Amino acid sequence: EAGVVQSPRYKIIEKKQPVAFWCNPISGHNTLYWYLQNLGQGPELLIRYENEEAVDDSQLPKDRFSAERLKGVDSTLKIQPAELGDSAVYLCASSLGGGTANTGELFFGEGSRLTVL
């Protein structure tokens, strides 16, 4: 069974340019997360989806960041325009979500490493 797939793995752009990251969660996982991981830090939640609905986007900098999960499956995270401080790893994760007993385990993709010059 395929895990969480993210692309691209690496992206280098100049500041003020746009960038987009794509994530395909594990089949059947209703909940999808985008996390930001700065160097030497733990993952910090940007946005959480339950199916196609964003249920927690309180930490998403909405002036430049946007995300969508139109059909409740794969998702895109966009930054426009990118700033130097956006250099980080963007992690996508999925989980089973609601329903029967759930340990809340998250399954992570390998991440998309962004470098803004």
Both tokens assigned to 113: 């490493």
Q: Is 108 one of the binding residues for another protein (CB under 8 A)?
A: yes
Q: Is 98 one of the binding residues for another protein (CB under 8 A)?
A: yes
Q: Is 34 one of the binding residues for another protein (CB under 8 A)?
A: no
| Torsion angle in degrees (nearest 10) through CA of 88, 92, 97, 101 | -80
Q: Is 25 one of the binding residues for another protein (CB under 8 A)?
A: no
Sign for the CA dihedral angle at 86, 117, 39, 96 comes to positive
> Cβ of residue 112: shortest distance to another protein, in angstroms?
10
Q: Which of 41, 80, 83, 84 binds another protein (CB under 8 A)?
A: 41
Nearest to 72 by CA among 26, 32, 13: 32
Q: Is 2 one of the binding residues for another protein (CB under 8 A)?
A: no
Binding range to another protein, per CB under 8 A, among 13-21, 65-73, 80-88, 109-117? 109-117
Q: Is 91 one of the binding residues for another protein (CB under 8 A)?
A: yes
Residues near another protein (CB under 8 A): 4, 31, 33, 40-45, 48, 56, 91, 93, 97-98, 101-111
